[in-house]
Amino acid sequence: MNYLKKPTLLIAMMVSLALASCKSEDPVPENDEELITDVTLRFTEVDASGNAIGTPFEFVASDPQGVELGDPTIETVELVKGKSYQMEIFLYNSIADEDITEEVQEESDEHQFYFLGTAFVGSPVLTYTYDDLNGEIIGLKGQVEVAEFPGFNNANMRIILRHDLDKNFPGADNPNFENFTQAGGETDLDLTFPLVLN
Amino acid sequence: MILLFGSKTTFAQKCDLSIRGRILHQENNDPIEGAYIWVIESATGAVSDENGNFIVKNLCQGEYHITIQYLGHKEIKDSISLSSNNFNKTYRLEEESLDLGGVEIHGHRFAVQTTTAVTALYGEALLEARGENLGESLKRISGVTTFSTGNSIAKPVIHGMHSNRIMILNNGIRLEGQQWGAEHAPEIDPFVADEITVIKGAETVRYGPEAMGGVILVNPAPIPTKKDPKTNIYLNGGTNGRMGNISVSHADGSNKIKGLGYQVQASAKRAGNIKSPDYFQGNTGLSELNFSGSVGYSSSKLGVEGYYSYFNTTLGILRDSHTGNLDDLLAIIENGRPFSDPGFTYEIINPKQVVSHHLAKVKSHYHLSDTWKLNFQYGFQTNNRKEFDKRRGDLNEKPSLDLQLFTNTFDLFVDHNLKNEWSGSFGLNAIQQANNNIPGTGVTPLIPNYDMVNLGIYAIEKYSKGPLELEGGLRFDARSVNTARYVDSELQEADLSYTNFSAFIGGLYQISPKVTFNSNLGTAWRPPNVNELFSEGLHHGAAAVEIGDPDLNSEKSLKWVNALEYDGGRTHLEFTAYANHISDYIYLNPTGETYVSLRGTFNVYEYLQANAFFYGFDFSGSYVFTERLSAYAKGSIIRAKNTDENNYFPFIPSDRMDWGLAYQFGSLKNSQTNKLTLSNMLVAKQKREPDFDLAPAPPAYALFNLAYQKKFIFGENQLNLGIQIQNLFNTSYKEYMNRFRYFTDDMGRNILLKINYQF
């Protein structure tokens, strides 16, 4: 049985070699770099000719866990009837400590905000106009006019950020485009701020 | 006893006796057709039929000497004392040694020795399937369907089971990729195969855990053992997706060293956006580049083989199927088709998958004696899967999922084909696996890093006597899994272990030369997969949060398969019926809850266990009306129920059948193929739907296909020409088993040209 010994030895060697050579590595924690954990709306009152007046004020929606059980915290937006504001949106990833606003600005051709909810559609209490850098249509910066005599004082501001959409789709340049899904792409943000008008 | 019946009848009976028997290959137990059996005393003989059976009739009581001869095999001499009509013996013919001139040596193939239902795809049927992926090719076998994600990702489904519940063997090595994912196609190039075999029984004992629903064997042609150069070129083109596909293989043996041979093969494939009847599906192209090679040596005692295969694919994923949240998903489902129609392009953008798979193996066998053979096989695999999503800026360059899986498989077993009725094998099998998430994705990994070791020992024994074969086997497995990952920056580790006994018993009986019946009852098990244990997080694109359960038990199944085969002159019929009870069947259940985030809402799914009962049947048959006209039909019916909840599981194939007529043109004298086939595929609506689904099951559909196949022979060379029109009437339809039915219609008309040249 001499022939048995050699293969057995060879096999034993190969197996021990193979088993030793591949062991899983220690895991490395990953930061979710894409996540947007904080959405800040900054309002600055403007006069009739569009010049800023008064001090800016902010409302924040935050979800430090990302997609997990537990609803995000969303502040109530308070605006004054009959006034006009400049509204800027800031996006931040607190997990990876990254400013997402810049990234969205850089990929201006792929991103666009839509403004829906009872505040903007139906009998709107707010009127939104895109006012981004270089006349682009993104929604990071825009003008919001509050109705002087709104039908109601409480409403919802639904803010949607679409990614990879077809900006040339008919109607896609309307900030209150309800059929935004038809322009293709996917949703990066879809959140609703409660609105109170004083 | 005999005397009691009076002398006259006794005399008549005495010379009405028969010698029955069966002739098999010593090497692999395959039946030998055309072996010559000669009874010296009576000077009569017989030739074994295609099942290896023979019968020599009209013999009287007494002593006989028989010889059994078959070209290239050692003659068998046996003396028989014939006293009753019950004589029946199995003979195994051994191949002659190499030095006899002109003798073909049997390539040492991974033969399937099973008593359970087996169907194979080879020859002309495989030729017609060339250019399709593995899943699509296997659809040609009744009882096999696909679970697909669009048109380029198709996972084979055997009797309602897929992914980790079936096993795919690439040249004898169990394919280890990330099979758990619904959108993870098997990492194998069907051009590797010369024959693709589907075993429909539970084959855990032979092949190890997870072979619960069945096994798919992708086997290359045997490596040549003498100088005989052969080259095979395949050129395929398809109008839909403007697909182009080439495969070249070459095999030869050595002149100098007898028994030495090699084989090399490479294939490439490129396709662009698929067209549904009314629109293009954005970003559905693919590109594939594969290679395989093997070297083998065989002598009468020793066989050694080395094999390497490489598979590399880039698959575009339908852009619109990647949704941001539940509202997005529901919007496209309501729309019933993609919002975008980007026209045709070969360009593949995100979302996409880039997958590469290396498989290397060495295999050796040594004949310890005429009847005992020692086998050794070692396989090494590495699988790298990168999935890219549509992300922001530089993140688009980074995969969202980047997994590297290493697998070592090791088999050592002894085979015996005794001179008498017994044959079988005993062995041990080890699988060792390491899974890594390659850092730098910027996404919390879906599954942890892990190490897995599985050890199994088994014994299978088979008794063959004439038309009867009985087989039984036992196996014990132990598996340990160690996982590690970070959850909210805390290291979380788990050590899990599973053990299991499995067993099977099966039999095959040749009721008559035309009718065979086989039955197989086998247990199988499958430890929970790592994704079922530990998934936690957003399944991007599916708008779903999937939550695993580390306390899941192993699934255990008991499957009973019965097959009846009739092979008459004009009629061929195969009927397979099965029942499969699975305890602790693991499934993904919608909880009805949603997660709310700044990104919107998501459905939450959790992994649960329940008792399941699957049953159904497959049939296939053909009938030759005239020399020119023939017809075939095949179909399958599956029922699968959650017996705890008394409801249905999702993604179980609906009832379907495929039938067609074939007409042979040209001269009937040379049997060269020159055939036109019109076929019709009928698929019913899946009425047994789960309680929750994102969209109702799509309606029933009927497709027509037309195919023309012609063979030209030029001396030693052969040219095969095929033209196929799939979905002849450009019908818009959705298949229930395609996950993209939520987003898009299936593929429209496709005209394919398939050229094969063998020289």
Encode pLDDT of B364-383 as tens digits: 999 898 889 899 999 999 99
Residues 445-474 of chain B with CB under 8 A from chain A are: 445, 448-451
Contact assignment for B448 to A27 by CB distance below 8 Å = yes
The tens digit of pLDDT for each residue in B310-354 reads 999 999 999 888 888 888 889 999 999 999 888 999 999 989 999
pLDDT reading at B11 higher than 60: no
Collapsing DSSP to helix, strand or coil, B397 comes out as: helix
Mean pLDDT, rounded, for B83-98:
75
Across A182-196, B113-127, B416-430, which has the greatest mean pLDDT? A182-196
Q: What are phi and psi of A15, to 5 degrees?
A: -65, -45
What residue type is B499 in one-letter code?
T
Residues 258-287 of chain B with CB under 8 A from chain A are: none
Give every CB contact of residue B524 below 8 A, 6+ residues apart in sequence.
Answer: B202, B203, B204, B209, B210, B211, B212, B502, B556, B557, B558, B559
- Cβ–Cβ pairs < 8 A, chains A and B: 152
Report residue B708's pLDDT band, with 50, 70 and 90 as the boundaries.
very high
Name the strand (E) or helix (H) holding B531.
Answer: helix B530-534
pLDDT reading at B6 higher than 70: no
Task: Compute CA distances B613 → A13, B160, B162, B212, B291, whole Å.
Answer: 45, 11, 15, 13, 41
**Residue B215 and residue B207 in contact, taking contact as beta carbons nearer than 8 Å:** yes
Contact assignment for B395 to A7 by CB distance below 8 Å = no
Output the DSSP codes for B630-697.
EEEEEEEEEEEEETTTTEE-SS-PPPEEEEEEEEE-S-SSS---EEEEEEEEEE----S--S--SSPP
Q: Which residue of A has its CA nearest to B394?
A: A103
Q: In which residue are the tokens 């065979």 written?
A: B516
Q: What are phi and psi of B434, to 5 degrees?
A: -135, 130
Contact assignment for A19 to B332 by CB distance below 8 Å = no
Name the strand (E) or helix (H) holding B364.
Answer: strand B352-367
DSSP B73: B
pLDDT reading at B646 higher than 90: yes
- Using DSSP bridges, classify how beta strands B750-758 and B717-726 pair: parallel, antiparallel or unpaired: antiparallel
The tens digit of pLDDT for each residue in B570-605 reads 999 999 999 999 999 999 988 888 888 888 888 889
Task: Compute CA distances B484 → A95, B434, B492, whole Å.
Answer: 21, 11, 6
- Using DSSP bridges, classify how beta strands B555-567 and B544-547 pair: parallel, antiparallel or unpaired: unpaired
Nearest-5° Cα angle at B118, B113 to B123:
100
Across A41-50, B52-61, B270-279, which has the greatest mean pLDDT? B270-279
Where, residue-wise, is CATH 2.40.170.20 in chain B?
118-245+264-328+337-358+369-405+422-494+507-758
What topology is assigned to B2-93 in CATH? Answer: Immunoglobulin-like (2.60.40)
Contact assignment for B598 to A11 by CB distance below 8 Å = no
Q: In which residue are the tokens 């430090």 written?
A: A64
Q: Which residue of B has its CA nearest to A29?
A: B486
* Token pair for B390: 């549509």
Nearest-5° Cα angle at B390, B389 to B391:
100
Contact assignment for B451 to A30 by CB distance below 8 Å = no
Is the model more confident about B92 or about A129? Answer: A129
What residue type is B437 in one-letter code?
N
pLDDT at B98: 44
Collapsing DSSP to helix, strand or coil, B416 comes out as: strand
Taken in order A48, A49, A50, A53, is the CA torsion positive or negative? negative
- The whole-model pTM stands at 0.87
Mean pLDDT by 10-residue block, N- to C-terminus, for chain A (198 residues)?
52 59 85 89 91 91 78 92 94 90 92 95 92 92 93 93 93 94 91 93
Neighbours of A109 (CB within 10 A): 12
pLDDT reading at B106 higher than 60: no
Output the DSSP codes for B118-154.
EEEEEHHHHHHHTTS-HHHHHTTSTTEEEEEETTTEE
Closest partner residue to B599 (CB to CB) among A31, A96, A188 is A188
Contact assignment for B445 to A191 by CB distance below 8 Å = no
What topology is assigned to B118-245+264-328+337-358+369-405+422-494+507-758 in CATH? Answer: Maltoporin; Chain A (2.40.170)
Mean pLDDT of chain B: 89
- Using DSSP bridges, classify how beta strands B166-170 and B214-219 pair: parallel, antiparallel or unpaired: parallel
Neighbours of A97 (CB within 10 A): 8
d(CA B478, CA B753): 49
Where, residue-wise, is CATH 2.60.40.10 in chain B?
2-93
Q: Using an 8 Å CB-CB cutoff, list chain A residues near B338.
A: 184
Q: In which residue are the tokens 């990953």 written?
A: A30
- 3-state SS record for chain A: CHHHHHHHHHHHHHHHHHHHHCCCCCCCCCCCCCCCCEEEEEEEEECCCCCECCCCEEEEEECCCCCCCCCCEECCEEECCCCEEEEEEEEEECCCCEEHHHHHHHCCCCEEEEEECCCCCCCCCEEEEECCHHHCCCCCEEEEEECCCCCCCEEEEEEEEEECCCCCCCCCCCCCCCCHHHHCCEEEEEEEEEEEEC
* Token pair for B9: 């009848």
Collapsing DSSP to helix, strand or coil, B573 comes out as: strand
- The ipTM (two decimal places) reads 0.87
pLDDT at B648: 94
Share of chain B above pLDDT 90, in %: 60
- 3-state SS record for B78-119: EEEEECCCCCEEEEEECECCCCCCCCCCCCCCCCCCCCCCEE
CA distance A36 to chain B (A): 7
Contact assignment for B395 to A69 by CB distance below 8 Å = no
pLDDT at B145: 94
Taken in order B737, B739, B744, B750, is the CA torsion positive or negative? negative
* Token pair for B164: 């980790």
Nearest-5° Cα angle at B55, B115 to B73:
70
Q: Using an 8 Å CB-CB cutoff, list chain B residues near A109.
A: none
| B378 alpha-carbon distance from chain centroid | 21
Does B351 sit behind a cis peptide bond, omega within 30 degrees of 0 on the bond before it? yes
Nearest Cα residue to B424 out of B12, B730, B114: B114
Contact assignment for B451 to A23 by CB distance below 8 Å = yes
Contact assignment for A104 to B392 by CB distance below 8 Å = yes
Report residue B102's pLDDT band, with 50, 70 and 90 as the boundaries.
very low
The tens digit of pLDDT for each residue in B504-549 reads 999 988 888 788 899 999 999 999 999 999 988 777 667 788 899 9
DSSP B553: P
CA distance B590 to chain A (A): 15
Give every CB contact of residue B496 below 8 A, 6+ residues apart in sequence.
Answer: B480, B481, B482, B483, B533, B550
What residue type is B676 in one-letter code?
L
Closest partner residue to B450 (CB to CB) among A24, A188, A189 is A24
